[in-house]
């Protein structure tokens, strides 16, 4: 993945745990929450066209494109306490799965408020 800094500088700069050279950082993978944080802070992220499927190096599991799953597969991702009537649309099921609370990245600490703090060095 190619990440472009919103305020690029010549040379090296380190920001949000990434090292940028001339305003660009190249990484093999990003955790979805880190990717979201970068996008929210104005970073531009471009997928590597040579990589067939993105992979979460930190988690060790492939990133799942929820829009490509069937309704049955989406229902399997929902916990028992989430109600989804039989007439729930595919888009509504995707929204229900997206709204589920994410587990902290391995090595992270759950803050108890829906957020997690990573302990990266």
Q: Mean pLDDT, consecutive 10-residue segments, the chain of 121 residues? A: 89 88 87 84 80 52 78 90 89 89 64 61 45
33 and 22 share one domain: yes
Q: What pLDDT, on a 0 to 100 scale, did the predictor assign at position 12?
A: 92
Q: What pLDDT, on a 0 to 100 scale, did the predictor assign at position 58?
A: 47
Q: What pLDDT, on a 0 to 100 scale, did the predictor assign at position 71?
A: 92
The predicted model scores a pTM of 0.42
68 and 96 share one domain: yes
| Alpha-carbon separation of residue 28 from 67, 90, 109, 111, 114 (angstroms) | 23, 31, 24, 28, 27
When divided into structural domains, the chain yields a total of 2
Q: What pLDDT, on a 0 to 100 scale, did the predictor assign at position 92?
A: 92
83 and 37 share one domain: no
């Amino acid at each position: 993945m190619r990440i472009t800094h919103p305020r690029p500088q010549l040379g090296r700069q380190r920001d949000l745990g990434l090292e940028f050279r001339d305003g660009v950082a190249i990484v093999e993978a990003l955790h979805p929450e880190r990717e979201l944080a970068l996008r929210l802070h104005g970073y531009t992220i471009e997928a590597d066209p040579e990589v067939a499927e993105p992979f979460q190096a930190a988690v060790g599991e492939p990133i799942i494109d929820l829009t490509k799953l069937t309704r049955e597969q989406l229902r399997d991702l929902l916990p028992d306490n989430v109600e989804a009537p039989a007439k729930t649309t595919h888009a509504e099921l995707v929204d229900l799965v997206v709204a589920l609370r994410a587990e902290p990245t391995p090595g992270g600490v759950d803050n108890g408020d829906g957020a997690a703090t990573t302990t990266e060095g």
